[in-house]
């Protein structure tokens, strides 16, 4: 570690783009500064934007001078700093991919005098930790409003899938207008099979008091890991206390591992039974017993504030119910493509779909998928799925072919959440009959669905799908059975690698 590494200071001009104003805070791995984006930024405005020169931004720097690094010997220090640099670059990549008002937007990233930085949207407001300390207890409407907004942002991340791994009140901001924003994706982990694995020096990643059992046991995280941490936060929103309070000799780790929490209604009146049940399930010890974040959203939706509702009592500032009571339109920024291009080249809505053209597009996409590199064909199929189903119905084989080509392209591109929805739609609605060909096709679709779920850590479901496919293949004619068996072996190999891999990646 270089003792003379750059240290940010007020007035510094970073990469010719951002003038530092004042420090917003410093942690063990990074520090954040308020900055002004200077006029004449080298990045051209996006379509529909005015020049951004002069706006305030947050600039996050990786710390090369943290106390934890000084405690290591030179070899460990160099290795740890390499991991931190790699994670910092990954955080910038993730922020550039995630597009949701509840996740900080990436403006740019780079290196200034050898120190990496990330420039992002500045969220002015208070942390949820400060908010809870000042407003306790919260009204049910305010608690649910925070939870609904958190769930929406997490759903965006989990679709990829990306696990935050450090959800806690200090990493959640409530903006001046009440918008809830997840911050600090510094130890977030993409769950793609090809994602780089970093092994760091030190202890379990995350924050004491908000760690899921699998994190405490140093096992592989999944999106359900975030759901547990979310459950801890939601419990505190509802009751003013965490499910297992932190105290001297409290046995906190043992409680998170083994003790079932009391329902929130034990500590706060007026909590609906459905929310009571939801929170207890979010805090289940086994990941597979927790609801997915999409289910959390579905359960909470009926209890959240609605447009036109009055301001809740007691009043708070900021007011987290405001974005739900007084919604405003937000134009999403263009999301960088993963590997599948956007479907801009699909036929115009006022044109009839041409069967031959769609067949040729399917053939192109299938050729791309066979090569392992989905491209323009797969991307265009993605934009046709709803339309072919609407115009041609659910029984036409070409509709199923379009959906499968689109799903396969998304799966290979790493967008497993979107692929799951298409594969599930094929299984539920587009395969008809129970002949050998239909059984083989259904088995393949369910295996691909299991392959996507493997990325979400749903190992028991994948094991069941692989076993079921083996029995199905054995009862099919040899050619069809061989097709199913080939896919089954692929998924089984991925499952075996996952089961045999290291317990936890940092």
pLDDT at 165: 87
Q: Residue 40 pairs with which residues in a beta bridge?
A: none
Could you tell me where the beta strands, DSSP code E, fall in 316-443? Answer: none
Residue 350 has pLDDT above 50, yes or no: no
Residue 348 has pLDDT above 80, yes or no: no
Average pLDDT over residues 185-199: 65
Percent of the chain with pLDDT over 90: 60
pLDDT at 332: 45
Nearest to 473 by CA among 456, 455, 492: 492
For residue 53, name the pLDDT band (cuts at 50, 70, 90): low
At 392-423, the pLDDT tens digits run 999 999 999 999 999 999 999 888 888 999 99
For residue 490, name the pLDDT band (cuts at 50, 70, 90): very high
Percent of the chain with pLDDT over 70: 86
Other CB atoms within 10 Å distance of the CB of residue 176: 13
**pTM summary value:** 0.73
Residue 168 has pLDDT above 80, yes or no: yes
Q: How far is the C-alpha of 58 from the C-alpha of 33, rounded, in Å?
A: 6
* Mean of pLDDT over the chain: 86
Residue 307 has pLDDT above 60, yes or no: yes
Radius of gyration of the chain (CA): 25
Residue 66 has pLDDT above 80, yes or no: no
> Are 303 and 328 in contact, with CB atoms under 8 Å apart?
no
- Return the minimum-mean-pLDDT range out of 77-86, 194-203, 266-275, 371-380: 194-203
pLDDT at 351: 60
Average pLDDT over residues 168-196: 84
Question: Cis peptide leading into 453, omega within 30 of 0?
Answer: no
pLDDT at 484: 97
Tokens of 184: 């600090």
CA 404 from centre of chain: 24
Q: How far is the C-alpha of 12 from the C-alpha of 299, rounded, in Å?
A: 48
For residue 159, name the pLDDT band (cuts at 50, 70, 90): confident
Catalytic residue among 4, 99, 166, 276: 166
For residue 44, name the pLDDT band (cuts at 50, 70, 90): very low
Average pLDDT over residues 43-52: 42
For residue 329, name the pLDDT band (cuts at 50, 70, 90): low
H-helix or E-strand spanning residue 36:
strand 30-37
At 209-257, the pLDDT tens digits run 889 999 999 888 889 999 999 999 999 999 999 999 876 456 888 999 9
Residue 502 has pLDDT above 60, yes or no: no
At 68-118, the pLDDT tens digits run 666 777 778 777 778 888 888 888 888 888 889 999 999 999 999 989 999
Residue 134 has pLDDT above 50, yes or no: yes
pLDDT at 1: 46
CB neighbour class for 305 (10 Å; exposed up to 12, middle 13-18, buried from 19): buried
H-helix or E-strand spanning residue 121:
strand 115-121
Strand bridging mode 30-37 / 125-127: unpaired
pLDDT at 343: 41
pLDDT at 345: 44
Nearest to 36 by CA among 10, 57, 15, 14: 57
At 471-481, the pLDDT tens digits run 999 999 999 99
> Are 200 and 218 in contact, with CB atoms under 8 Å apart?
no
pLDDT at 2: 53
pLDDT at 49: 38
Q: What share of the chain is helix, strand, coil (3-state, %, to 5)?
A: 45, 10, 40
Q: Domains in the chain, please, with CATH?
A: 13-40+54-121 (3.30.200.20), 125-192+206-312 (1.10.510.10), 355-500 (1.25.40.10)
pLDDT at 397: 94
For residue 364, name the pLDDT band (cuts at 50, 70, 90): very high
- Return the minimum-mean-pLDDT range out of 45-49, 193-197, 440-444, 495-499: 45-49
pLDDT at 201: 43
Q: Residue 34 pairs with which residues in a beta bridge?
A: 22, 58
pLDDT at 487: 96
- Return the minimum-mean-pLDDT range out of 203-217, 304-318, 462-476, 480-494: 203-217
Strand bridging mode 115-121 / 106-112: antiparallel
CB neighbour class for 219 (10 Å; exposed up to 12, middle 13-18, buried from 19): middle
166 catalytic per annotation: yes
> Are 455 and 413 in contact, with CB atoms under 8 Å apart?
no
| 3-class secondary-structure state, position 126 | strand
């Amino acid at each position: 570690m270089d003792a003379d590494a750059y240290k940010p200071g007020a007035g510094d001009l970073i990469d010719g783009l951002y003038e530092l104003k004042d420090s917003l805070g410093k942690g063990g791995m990074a520090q954040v500064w308020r900055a002004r984006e200077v006029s004449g930024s080298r990045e051209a405005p996006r379509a529909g934007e005015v020049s951004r020169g002069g706006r305030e931004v947050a600039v996050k720097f990786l710390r090369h001078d943290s106390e934890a690094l000084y405690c290591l010997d030179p070899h460990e220090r160099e290795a740890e700093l390499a991991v931190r640099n790699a994670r910092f670059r990954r955080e910038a990549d993730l922020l550039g991919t995630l597009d949701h008002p509840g996740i900080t937007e990436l403006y740019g990233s780079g290196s200034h005098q050898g120190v990496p930085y990330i420039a992002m949207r500045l969220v002015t407001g208070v942390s949820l930790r400060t908010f809870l300390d000042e407003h306790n207890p919260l009204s049910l409407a305010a608690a649910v409003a925070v939870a609904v907004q958190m769930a929406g942002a997490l759903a965006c991340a989990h679709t990829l899938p990306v696990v935050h791994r450090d959800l806690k009140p200090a990493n959640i901001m409530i903006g001046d207008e009440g918008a809830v924003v997840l911050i600090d994706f510094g130890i977030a982990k993409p769950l793609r099979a090809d994602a780089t694995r970093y092994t760091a020096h030190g202890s379990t990643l995350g924050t004491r008091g908000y760690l899921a059992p699998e994190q405490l046991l140093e096992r592989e995280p999944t999106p359900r890991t975030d759901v547990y941490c979310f459950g801890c936060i939601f419990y505190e929103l509802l009751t003013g206390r965490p499910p297992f309070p932190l105290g001297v000799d409290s046995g906190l780790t043992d409680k998170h591992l083994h003790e079932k929490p009391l329902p929130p209604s034990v500590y706060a009146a007026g909590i609906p039974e459905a929310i009571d049940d939801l929170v207890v399930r979010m805090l289940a010890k086994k990941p597979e017993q927790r609801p997915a974040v999409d289910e959390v959203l579905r359960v909470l939706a009926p209890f959240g504030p609605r447009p036109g509702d009055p301001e809740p009592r007691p009043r708070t500032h900021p007011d987290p119910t405001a974005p739900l009571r007084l919604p405003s339109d937000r134009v999403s920024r263009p999301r960088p493509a993963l590997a599948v291009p956007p479907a801009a080249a699909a036929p115009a809505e006022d044109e009839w779909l041409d069967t031959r053209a769609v067949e040729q597009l399917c053939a192109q996409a299938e050729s791309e998928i066979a090569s392992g590199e989905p491209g323009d064909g797969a991307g265009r199929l993605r934009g046709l799925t709803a339309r072919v189903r609407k115009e041609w119905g659910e029984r036409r084989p070409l509709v199923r072919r379009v959906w499968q080509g689109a799903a396969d392209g998304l799966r290979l591109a790493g967008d497993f959440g979107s692929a799951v929805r298409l594969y599930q739609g094929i299984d539920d609605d587009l395969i008809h009959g129970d002949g050998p060909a239909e059984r083989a096709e259904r088995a393949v679709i369910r295996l691909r669905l299991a392959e996507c779920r493997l990325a979400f850590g749903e190992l028991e479901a994948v094991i069941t799908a692989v076993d079921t496919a083996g029995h199905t293949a054995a009862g099919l004619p040899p050619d069809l059975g061989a097709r199913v068996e080939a896919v089954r072996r692929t998924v089984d190999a991925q499952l075996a690698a996952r089961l045999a891999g290291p317990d936890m990646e940092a």
